[in-house]
Structure 1
Amino acid sequence: MYLSFFCDTVTLFLRLLLVRYTCALPAHFPFSSYINIPNSSSEVDPKLDMYGIINVLYLKADKDMNGMISEPELADVYHGFDTNGDGHVTKSEFVTLWQSITHQNQEHAEAFFYLADLNDDNIIDSSDLNPLYNVFDTDGDGQVTAHEFAEKWVGIILEAPIAVLFERSDANKDNILTHNEFSKFFSSFDTNGDHRVTRSEFEHGWTSSGFGTSTEADTLFAALDTDHDGRITASHDLNSRFTALDVNHDHHLIILEAIKMAAYLPRPALQG
């Protein structure tokens, strides 16, 4: 039972971090006590699809089972991630717990951390909770419904590979992406040196580097191939997309600008 609590809660904290799933979890639930418990297929299914994850997380986040997720319920999840009790969640704390539950790679675990760290200070603390909650509370009534939760989580799942792309392109790790960094990162996929990146080159580079799946590579490629000619060039495609995302025209992107690229990705329809 506690393993289920642990697993469910970890995913929740993910960007709203997650008002995802708090399973009847008391504040300061000792997640670390259960990290080394092996996953049984009867207890945890690491292959849940997007819809299964959303459903499980919502049910676990709604601790009092009243059909709504409140801000205090989110706070309970936050306390669970703060394994050393110092008042904030570091990337290391988050990534360790997230990977132990989801079996996702480090790239994705870090991506979700960056999506939740709204002020880019490399920690998640109490000051992040209200803004994160408001991301899900779309009508501003102080509660998150199942529909609000599911709709926003679909968006967050789409944003994760974009966050991976941002972090890998940000060569000096200053949380600011320049056009040069963006272009240089893509040049690493140009295996034949013709100054163009094909879909197959991008997919191979993305998956072989452990950044994510071939499906993610294909959707990212489609969003960046602005003229739909099957090739990405720095002079045209990357420049066009970078300019469109740079809404304040300061010649660089922060992660909140970069994830707007999700608008160019196909959005799965919610089931049921």
Structure 2
Amino acid sequence: MAAFKLIVLLGIFCCSSFVHGQTTHELYERMIDDIWSSSDDNDDGIFSQFELIKTFSGYDTNGDGTITRHEYVNHVQVPSEHVHRYLHALFDIFDVNGDHHFNHHDYHGLYTKMDKDCDGIVTKADFYKFWHEVLHKTSHIHHNGLYLHN
């Protein structure tokens, strides 16, 4: 269940040991290393659809099979407005069909987005490419990781 917890907690954990002078790439690599190590539950080098679904199950607070934006963003109480905005941006990325709800349709779509080489399997390399894209796409919100520092 710890898998992808760091997606929400990314803003909290990623820079807890932030070292000034790191390049953005180095910072992102550290962040993605932490996400990967908590996401590949069975350490087989593959992030499975089961691991993805399992990851998000804790966010569905009312148990209806759908994660609303409210459930996702409020899963973790974060005092930072930048992290709050970042969580909204992540939800928009995860909500593949744009209906403001994250459910089984989005799981499949998100997994497909993560599968960068389109072979049906999200390898560690695919996972890293996906997260680099996400972090770069949202860098205007977190200022290359600076505002994800808690």
State the distance in 1 between where 2:38 and 2:142 align. Answer: 27
1:85 lines up with 2:63 in the alignment: yes
The alignment's TM-score, normalised by the length of structure 1, stands at 0.43
The Cα offsets for residues 54-110 of structure 1, whole Å up to 9 and x where unpaired, read as 01111211111111111111010121211221111111111122554x995221111
Aligned counterpart for 1:107 among listed residues 66, 85, 91: 85
Matched to 1:9, the amino acid is: F
SS in 2 for 1:57: helix
The Cα offsets for residues 188-241 of structure 1, whole Å up to 9 and x where unpaired, read as xxxxxxxxxxxxxxxxxxxxxxx553x69xxxxxxxxxxxxxxxxxxxxxxxxx
Higher RCO by CA contacts (8 Å cutoff, separation 6 or greater): 2
- 5+ unaligned residues in a row in structure 1: which ranges? 15-19, 21-38, 163-210, 217-272
Q: Does the 8 Å contact 1:69/1:144 carry over to 2?
A: yes
Matched to 2:114, the amino acid is: F
**CA-atom RMSD, angstroms?**
3.0
1:134 lines up with 2:129 in the alignment: no
State the distance in 2 between where 1:90 and 1:83 align. Answer: 9
- Pick closer, same or farther for the CA change 1:99–1:161 going to 2, 3 Å: farther
- Please identify runs of 4+ aligned residues in structure 1 that moved more than 3 A: none
Aligned to 2:6: 11
State the distance in 1 between where 2:14 and 2:136 align. Answer: 21
State the distance in 2 between where 1:60 and 1:161 align. Answer: 22
Shift of 1:151: 1.2
State the distance in 2 between where 1:105 and 1:82 align. Answer: 20
Shift of 1:131: 0.9
* Structure with greater Cα Rg: 1
- Pick closer, same or farther for the CA change 1:70–1:13 going to 2, 3 Å: farther
- 5+ unaligned residues in a row in structure 2: which ranges? 19-26, 146-150
The alignment's TM-score, normalised by the length of structure 2, stands at 0.74
> What is the total number of aligned residue pairs between the two structures?
134
State the distance in 2 between where 1:13 and 1:148 align. Answer: 20
State the distance in 2 between where 1:84 and 1:46 align. Answer: 31
State the distance in 1 between where 2:111 and 2:89 align. Answer: 18
Aligned ranges 1:44-63 → 2 under 5 Å: 46-47=15-16, 49-63=27-41
Q: Does the 8 Å contact 1:69/1:145 carry over to 2?
A: yes
Aligned to 1:67: 45
SS in 1 for 2:117: coil
Matched to 1:124, the amino acid is: F
Shift of 1:112: 0.9
What is the identity percentage for the equivalent residue pairs of Structure 1 and Structure 2?
Answer: 25
